[in-house]
């Protein structure tokens, strides 16, 4: 059965698979991007590149996370190679000091400070065990727009995760997560089997979200899910993939004994995980991939938490290899197009949503003044 979409006909009319060329990778800037897990940012200087912008992060003595441009105003030496003096960053080249807002508050060998001496300070929010940074217009940095990953700190759930430095453009990871039929081929020994590709799916979308839902009813569970459920027999298995623009995907996955009521909303006889993913572009062909896995059962079982994390690490390691190879092939074949299939419908809508955000930013950016003509 082909995919269908709420805004088109039952076979996706209006979004027919079509050739797509690889334009220069891009991303909206007016958005919150994860810069680090909370435990990565301490009372020491920490460098990370976000959306092509080099940042230095640290915590103040009171524990507040700070993000500044990682280039001294004086000679552009990376501030991350300096040191902290209280809450001030001291440049490791000539000793200029910058406060938490990025203003220079000390210059060596002079009493006056050039009023232009400053580095960019970035809006920062710490939420859901992540440090979020806004690389765009700071006046638009609304904390209410931080993506929802509350499962990382919800007392009714337990979660753990990691960060991957992925050798690919962030949109390739989004494509991968929106279409889980690759599980059949890439993850056949753990979470994938032929039922994933055979099952029908539904796509819903709006201005800032895309949701793909797939049910595999009365099907044989793949190895990982059979072990988690611990009961013999076929299962009703679900995958609900929720994209939050511009780069966050939460996947509600689980299995329950076939016929136990899971499709109707009663999942009490089954096991369920939330797979949490948020992507942060680094440069055109690399990204930071923050992920976590959460569960709402056996919350105190630390061994299970460890097994879940290591299991997902192995699965995502397989994805890493695929995506890196895909990125290399793209770079080796500039201008090459590829075709979408029905299974790509969710990913197609994700790219449309992102393109819409980028276009809106471009329309909101004042045009550069024209060059003055000579006499």
Residue 355 tokens, joined: 């393109």
* Residue-level pLDDT at 194: 67
Residue 78 tokens, joined: 């990376």
* Residue-level pLDDT at 1: 34
Q: Cα(183)–Cα(316) distance, rounded to whole angstroms? A: 11
Q: Which fold has domain 4-16+148-361?
A: Naphthalene 1,2-dioxygenase Alpha Subunit; Chain A, domain 1 (3.90.380)
Check if 4-16+148-361 and 33-143 are the same fold: no
The pLDDT of 132-144, averaged and rounded, is 97
* Residue-level pLDDT at 188: 56
Question: 100: which residues sit within 8 A by CB, 6+ positions away?
Answer: 60, 64, 66, 68, 87, 121
Question: Which one is predicted more confidently, 95 or 317?
Answer: 95
The pLDDT of 18-22, averaged and rounded, is 44
* Residue-level pLDDT at 371: 44
Q: Cα(290)–Cα(278) distance, rounded to whole angstroms? A: 5
* Residue-level pLDDT at 181: 81
Name the average pLDDT for the chain. 89
- State pLDDT tens for residues 75-114: 999 999 999 999 999 999 999 999 999 999 999 999 999 9
Q: Are 172 and 154 in contact (CB under 8 A)?
A: no
Say yes or no to pLDDT of 327 above 80: yes
Lowest mean pLDDT among 56-65, 171-180, 254-263, 357-366: 357-366
Say yes or no to pLDDT of 21 above 90: no
* Residue-level pLDDT at 370: 43
* Residue-level pLDDT at 241: 96
| Domain parsing of the chain, residue ranges | 4-16+148-361, 33-143
C-alpha 2 chain-centroid distance: 28
Q: Are 170 and 280 in contact (CB under 8 A)?
A: yes
* Residue-level pLDDT at 7: 40
Say yes or no to pLDDT of 375 above 70: no
The pLDDT of 297-321, averaged and rounded, is 90
* Residue-level pLDDT at 224: 85
- State pLDDT tens for residues 169-209: 999 999 999 998 877 667 656 665 566 777 889 999 999 99
The pLDDT of 125-143, averaged and rounded, is 98
Say what percent of the chain tops pLDDT 90: 74
Exposed / middle / buried, residue 10 (Cβ in 10 Å: 0-12, 13-18, 19+): exposed
**CATH entry, 33-143, from 2.30.40.10, 1.10.760.10, 1.20.1250.20, 2.102.10.10:** 2.102.10.10
* Residue-level pLDDT at 374: 37
């Amino acid at each position: 059965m082909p995919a269908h979409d709420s805004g088109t006909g039952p076979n996706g009319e209006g979004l027919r698979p079509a050739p797509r060329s690889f334009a220069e990778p891009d991303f909206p800037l007016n958005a919150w991007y994860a810069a680090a897990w909370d435990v990565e940012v301490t009372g020491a200087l920490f460098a990370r590149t976000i959306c092509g912008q080099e940042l230095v992060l640290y915590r103040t003595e009171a524990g507040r996370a700070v993000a500044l441009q990682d280039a001294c105003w004086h000679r552009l030496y990376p501030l991350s190679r300096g040191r902290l003096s209280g809450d001030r960053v001291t440049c490791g080249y000539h000793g200029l000091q910058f406060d938490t807002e990025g203003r220079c508050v000390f210059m060596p060998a002079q009493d006056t400070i050039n009023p232009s001496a400053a580095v960019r300070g970035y809006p920062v929010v710490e939420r859901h065990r992540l440090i979020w940074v806004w690389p765009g217009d700071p006046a638009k940095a609304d904390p209410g727009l931080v993506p929802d990953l509350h499962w990382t700190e919800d007392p009714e759930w337990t979660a753990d995760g990691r960060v991957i430095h992925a050798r690919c453009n962030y949109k390739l990871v989004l494509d991968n997560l929106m279409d889980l039929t690759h599980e059949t081929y890439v993850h056949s020994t753990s979470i994938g089997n032929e039922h994933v590709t055979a099952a029908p799916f539904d796509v819903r979308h709006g201005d800032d979200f895309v949701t793909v839902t797939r049910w595999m009813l009365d099907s044989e569970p793949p190895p990982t899910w059979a072990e988690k459920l611990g009961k013999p027999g076929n299962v009703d298995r679900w995958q609900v993939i929720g994209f939050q623009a511009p780069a966050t995907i939460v996947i509600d996955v689980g299995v329950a004994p076939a016929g136990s009521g899971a499709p109707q909303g009663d999942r009490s006889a089954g096991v369920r995980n939330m797979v949490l993913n948020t992507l942060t572009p680094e440069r055109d062909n690399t990204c930071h991939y923050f992920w976590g896995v959460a569960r709402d059962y056996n919350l105190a079982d630390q061994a299970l938490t460890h097994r879940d994390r290591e299991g997902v690490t192995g699965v995502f390691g397989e994805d890493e290899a695929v995506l890196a190879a895909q990125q290399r092939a793209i770079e080796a074949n500039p201008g090459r197009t590829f075709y979408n299939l029905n299974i790509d419908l969710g990913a197609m809508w994700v790219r449309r949503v992102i393109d819409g955000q980028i276009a809106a930013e471009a329309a909101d950016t004042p045009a550069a003044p024209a060059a003055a003509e000579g006499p």
